[in-house]
Amino acid sequence: MPHRLPVTATDLWTVAQTAWGEARGETLEGIYAVIRTIRNRQELHRRWRGMPLVAICRAPWQYSVWNASNPTLAKMQDVSLDDPVFCRCLIAAVEVMGSIVMSPVGHATHYHTTAIALPNWAKGHTPVCQVGTHLFYEDIA
């Protein structure tokens, strides 16, 4: 049985920021897909199982929008409810964490955009699906 911690307002805000930074140009399904990888890590991934969502999102080199070198980081940290896409991401975070929507990516815990070369961590692995411009993987250690 997956282990889930209570979801706090800070968790939801951070998950929404992550989705905004990683998938703001995607469809709603693409936003759901990115958020689902966060939930899947907390529930299924041996490294992240049971960790707070904030820690999962902000862990170094996990969700690239949180990397200090990412040019979107400052914008993401300043995003507010005045931004309609962020509002959609926040609602999507509530929907995914509340099991209101089904997972569009199965048990995927990792993804990358098709706009980059294949990352080292993805070499030798087969994506389980593609949603928008992201490829999703279930079998990443």
pLDDT at 46: 87
Determine the Cα angle at 87 with ends 82 and 92, to 5°.
170
CA distance 121 to 26: 23
> What is the chain's alpha carbon radius of gyration, rounded to the nearest angstrom?
14
Per residue of the chain (141 residues), what is the pLDDT tens digit? 455 667 899 999 999 999 999 999 999 999 999 999 999 999 988 889 889 999 999 999 999 999 999 999 999 999 999 999 999 999 999 999 999 998 999 999 999 999 999 999 999 999 999 999 999 999 898
pLDDT at 5: 67
Q: pTM for this one? A: 0.93
Which DSSP symbol is given to 97?
H
Domains of the chain: 9-107 (1.10.10)
pLDDT at 4: 60
